[in-house]
Structure 1
Amino acid sequence: MKITISGHHVKITDAIQQAIESKFAKVAKHFPDLMRIDSVITVEPNTQKLEVTTQYEGQQISVRAAGKELYAAIAQAAKKLEAALKHRKGQLSKKLHQKYLVEQSDAFQAS
C-alpha cells in the first residue's frame, strides 16, 4: 500500500511520516484491498488538521480529524478511516445477501 503525505504550512518530518505510516499500516492489515492512502496535514493557529482520502471498492472515502496535537489527530483519523471502511464493507456485504424473488408469468401457470 502506498501512503502519500503532503503538508500545508508544515514541514513533514520523519517522525510525522513514521507515525502516519504506522497508524495506517494497521488499517491496511484489515483491508488488504487498499492500494493508496492520501493524507494532507494542515497547521493553523491552535489547530492541527489531517484529511485522509482513499478509494475502496469503487467509492472514495474521506475522513478528517483535528486537534491541538498532531499525533492525536493522526490516531483519531486512523480510527475514523477504519470505521468508514467497515461501514462501506457492510454495505457491500448487505447487497450480496439480498434475496431476489422469481415471478411466474401467466404462460407458465397455464400448464
Structure 2
Amino acid sequence: MNLTISGHHLEVTQALREYVLNKLSRVIRHFDQVVDVNVLLTVEKQKEKDRRQRAEVTMHVKGREIFCEHAHEDLYAAIDELMDKLDRQVCRHKDRVQNHHHASAKRMDVSAG
C-alpha cells in the first residue's frame, strides 16, 4: 500500500501524520485490498473568523476509487469525521464485492409445507 499525506497551506507535522495513520489503520483493518491512499489536509483562509480546515482522502482499492472529504473548524475533528465516512464507504464496497456471488433464485431450496 502506498500512502501519501500532504498539506496545502499547512505543514504536516509528525503528530498529524501519526494521527492520520492511526485512524487509517481502522479503515484498512476492514478491507485489505488497498493499493493507494492519498490524504490531503488543507487550511482554507477565506476569512480569519471563518477558518475552515478540510481533510480529503482518495483511496484506490481493487476495482474502484473511493473519494471522501470533510471540513470542520478543527483539523483533528475533520480527520475523525472523514475516517468515519471512509469507513462506511469501504464497508459498503466490501459488502458489494462479497455479495456478488450469491445463489440464484432458481437454485434456492424452498421448503413446501
Determine the structure 2 residue equivalent to 1:58.
63
> Counting helix residues as a fraction of each chain, which structure ranks higher?
1
Determine the structure 1 residue equivalent to 2:27.
27
SS state at 1:95 partner? coil
How large is the Cα RMSD of the aligned pairs? 1.7
Determine the structure 1 residue equivalent to 2:111.
none
SS state at 1:35 partner? strand
SS state at 2:100 partner? helix
AA aligned to 1:40 is L
Q: TM-score, normalised by structure 2?
A: 0.81
Task: Tell which structure's C-alpha radius of gyration is larger.
Answer: 1
Q: Tell whether the 8 Å contact from 1:3 to 1:21 is kept in structure 2 after alignment.
A: no
Q: Tell whether the 8 Å contact from 1:56 to 1:85 is kept in structure 2 after alignment.
A: no
Residue 71, structure 1, aligned to residue 79, structure 2: no
Determine the structure 1 residue equivalent to 2:43.
43
Structure 1 residue ranges, 4+ long, deviating more than 2 angstroms after superposition: none
Determine the structure 1 residue equivalent to 2:110.
none
Q: What number of residue pairs does the alignment pair up?
A: 102
Residue 6, structure 1, aligned to residue 11, structure 2: no
- Runs of 5+ consecutive residues of structure 2 not aligned to the other structure: 46-50, 107-113
Identity of aligned residues (%): 32
CA–CA separation in structure 1 for the residues paired with 2:20 and 2:2: 12
Q: TM-score, normalised by structure 1?
A: 0.82
- Runs of 5+ consecutive residues of structure 1 not aligned to the other structure: 102-111
